[in-house]
Amino acid sequence: MRIYLSPPDVGEVERAFMNEAFDGGWIAPAGPDLAAFESDVAALTGWPGAVALSSGTAALHLALLSVGVQPGDDVLVSSFTFSASANAVRYCGAEPVFIDSESSSWNMSPALLADELAECRRRNRLPAAVMVVDLYGQCADFDPIMAACRELGIPVVEDSAEALGATYHGRPAGALADVGVFSFNGNKIITTSGGGMLVTPSVEVAERVRYLSTQARQPAPHYEHTEVGYNYRLSNLLAALGRGQFSRLPELVERRRQINSLYRELLADVCSFMPVPGWSGWNGWLTCVQFADGSQPTIVREALLAEGIESRPLWKPMHQQPAFAGCRNRVDGTSGSVFGRGLCLPSGSALSDGEVAEVAALVRRPRVR
Ligand SMILES: *Cc1c(COP(=O)(O)O)cnc(C)c1O
């Protein structure tokens, strides 16, 4: 492969942070970079609580536990997402119920959520939580979603794995609900090669999550455990990498958005793009296009592949996944249709303008199967 979809963009800044940790002897899992990385991300969200974890998926798991999700509960989840969102619900022994997207943002439809909550009320069985995903670096329409959930006292988890640096009405992604989650996987907007973070407005919740993430060890000289914990903590060395990446976040967001603007200029007459509502300050994570007919994504993807260029289908909705067959859903066909006509184009922040132009030229080239 010559051009990847969204490869890590790291260099001397990150190397300096990692060398400092290395030279300071902070190779053991714990160390000062963890607290520093957490306070960087906490400051961005405006919340005091942040816990660095081994993955976004681990953060989602602990986020659901932190709002009280238990075995047998229902959790309403955006259907249009990566499987990690729904998997975390299952890790809790709970059942996901999938809510479809609105076409104006591709995120959870506030109207379908309201319909489902009304149905839950009629059946006298409220969900234990709602998990709302910020897809492709764009926030969901949180005002109506939070109003509906607040009215019923249902906690909301924001899966902002893809949306670090994005905003909603100027407010930071990750801090729009009761607890937020970021991912630093290798293909996200910043990376620790693998990692995640949970953010919370409550210092007590952060303490509890930190405790659960380090095997739930009681304060005693020997190893004393009163409940089952997890080994979900990020290592100090990776936190140092995260600090380096975080220091460049504004630059990385700016570059992703530039790349998107370039694609929009070059492909305006060939395909459409993910809609960006007025309230959305998206972070540009992945440029996602829509073709008029459903045969194009595969044809274009294979043509790019033949030139050593990686592109990807959009997330296949969870209500269409065999792993979640039989789960309840409230679906109106929106995410299925966007999935069927969509493709993610190479969007890494290290991509040059020339490479974007090369990809666009290949997407433009008329072809039939
Ligand atoms: C990447 C991603 C996750 C999982 O993050 P990992 O760090 O890979 O575990 C969860 N939800 C969404 C929407 C994601 O894109």
Could you tell me if residue 7 is inside a domain?
A: no
Task: Give the domain extent around 294.
Answer: 249-368
Total domains, the chain: 2
Q: Show which of 246, 279, 304 is a domain's final residue.
A: 246
Separation CA 231–CA 308 (nearest Å): 38
Protein residue whose Cα sits closest to atom 6 of ligand 1: 56
In this structure, the answer to whether residues 75 and 206 fall within a common structural domain is: yes
pLDDT of residue 211: 97
Segment 163-202, tens digit of pLDDT? 999 999 999 999 999 999 999 999 999 999 999 999 999 9
Separation CA 336–CA 325 (nearest Å): 15
Cβ–ligand 1 distance for 96 under 6 Å, the answer: no
Q: Show which of 211, 246, 281 is a domain's final residue.
A: 246
In this structure, the answer to whether residues 180 and 297 fall within a common structural domain is: no
Q: Which of 64, 81, 82, 233 to mutate to test the pocket of ligand 1 (most atoms within 8 A of CB)?
A: 82
Could you tell me if residue 27 is inside a domain?
A: yes
pLDDT of residue 28: 82
pLDDT of residue 134: 98
What is the pairing mode between strands 95-99 and 74-78?
parallel
Could you tell me if residue 6 is inside a domain?
A: no
In this structure, the answer to whether residues 239 and 283 fall within a common structural domain is: no
Q: Is 216 left (phi over 0), alpha (psi -120 to 50) or beta?
A: left
Q: Which of 57, 190, 288 to mutate to test the pocket of ligand 1 (most atoms within 8 A of CB)?
A: 57
Cβ–ligand 1 distance for 336 under 6 Å, the answer: no
pLDDT of residue 368: 54
Cβ–ligand 1 distance for 57 under 6 Å, the answer: yes
Strands (E), 61-168: 74-78, 95-99, 129-133, 156-159, 167-168
Q: Show which of 200, 230, 246 is a domain's final residue.
A: 246
pTM recorded for the entire structure: 0.97
In this structure, the answer to whether residues 312 and 199 fall within a common structural domain is: no
In this structure, the answer to whether residues 199 and 282 fall within a common structural domain is: no
pLDDT of residue 16: 98
Kindly give the number of the ligand 1 atom that is closest to the alpha carbon of 184: 7
Q: Which of 168, 105, 113 is nearest to 145 (CA)?
A: 113
In this structure, the answer to whether residues 140 and 193 fall within a common structural domain is: yes
Could you tell me if residue 4 is inside a domain?
A: no
Q: Which of 274, 342, 261, 326 is nearest to 107 (CA)?
A: 274
> Ligand 1 centroid vs 368 CA: distance in angstroms?
35
In this structure, the answer to whether residues 100 and 184 fall within a common structural domain is: yes
Could you tell me if residue 355 is inside a domain?
A: yes
Residues lower than pLDDT 50 in the chain: 369
